[in-house]
Amino acid sequence: MNQNRLYLIIGALVVAVIVLGGYLYHEQTKPKGVELKIDDKGISIQQN
């Protein structure tokens, strides 16, 4: 039973590292500057 818990913890850590890596990659590849969106909610301006 202890071995199953160890595998579960290791699996959870691997998933957490993959998710964090994906998030960091996404944040670093976002374009810099001002983002302007026009949609059905109106106009929104965000500074990156």
What pLDDT, in 10s, does the model give residues 1-48? 789 999 999 999 999 999 999 999 998 888 788 888 999 989 988 886
Of 39, 29, 36, give the one whose Cα is nearest residue 47. Answer: 36
The reported pTM is 0.61
Q: What angle do CA 26, 28, 29 make, to 5 degrees?
A: 65
- What integer pLDDT is reported at residue 48 of this predicted model? 66
- What integer pLDDT is reported at residue 23 of this predicted model? 96
